[in-house]
Structure 1
């Protein structure tokens, strides 16, 4: 074989190798989702933004439309495009995506990419919280408490949503409410939630949160013993032993409740 033929054959072989799909070039949805997780963990926002855009184009999953919109609104990985991003988030929220509904509520409260409308933002956050978004409920309570001195609704929603989900910080917050902080006291229920929060907290919440809950739980139980109310502590521990957490279920009227946030009274 001539030298020129060998060179041509080598070039063709190289082209075929370079053209062949590899694991690194896998463009399937699962591969892109894995790459998105890696980019997020590495805080490579430009890569995460691009991958979210591609997944939004490739799938019918409104979560990726909302996620790409989130990156646009806040300028992660590139130039901020608040109006465009907010429109994508709103569309995903209307499609029922829980993360997008949480983000949309925050956007209305902040006035970012949309006209500021705290009432509408609180309405959307409340809706997302009732569907099971812990972040939405935290945002709802924070916003609600700034606007009113009536804590009954925020405490009630903590009870229905956050405690039901078993989130330790939420359990702790509601325990403080029930132990006489700003609402009518319920010592047995408050102690039960304090015990549960102490049991469920773990190092992944960070040393500050772990120390806060465990120190407060120890101090609370010690106080009840000093008051010669050890029987109540024992009863709270038994209730905690029997507690089973269930995630909040979606209700048939979810769509109507969300739509009501956009209906003028």
Structure 2
């Protein structure tokens, strides 16, 4: 079976074309059925592909004249979407030319383009940033939101739980992922009103949502392996993620 192509914004990210092509080549080595649509400056992509013949054979190049800069406002990026590598990569998914789009570029611009072009699941108001993190157990952990929505109400948190559980089911194969809300304590009385309200709604709705809601979890316990989805607002989630990354670098540098 041939998998849908992955559209890659080859110009996105701090390191640009070389690193994006190396990442695609690594993915191709691990999953030899992957096909790619590499979007960006054709000449620079062709040059980067010279050292990766297997990737070149599995790829098509879509030329883009422009890129989205790291400090560009989402509204500005949206106006130029039809000419930028990021915008054309997202549009490839909309057109059915690719099954997914990958970019390491401007996060705000990517979220805006994705929401405008691809929309959200029925009943979901906002997209969220998610990551798959390793744990001390046998499972990988889905954590969201990691920075797309700094202010969230209970409705948003419930929707993030729905999306996170759906992602976990697809990626890990779990029938009923264990979901928890990130909080300053595990007791039902802890946290903001939005967190407590979201917890109440999830306790009632878990049966019809194909998930197991296990209440609150503190940040120091998320990697133990006894939870599959951790839900939080983007402000707290981004801080937690950066703390995890910093701790990993610290341990690695010891």
TM range (shorter): 0.3 to 0.5
Q: Which has the higher contact order (CA 8 A, sep 6+)?
A: 2
Query: Which one has the largest radius of gyration?
Result: 1
TM-score (norm 2): 0.34
Structure ranking higher in strand proportion: 2
Structure ranking higher in helix proportion: 1
TM-score (norm 1): 0.33
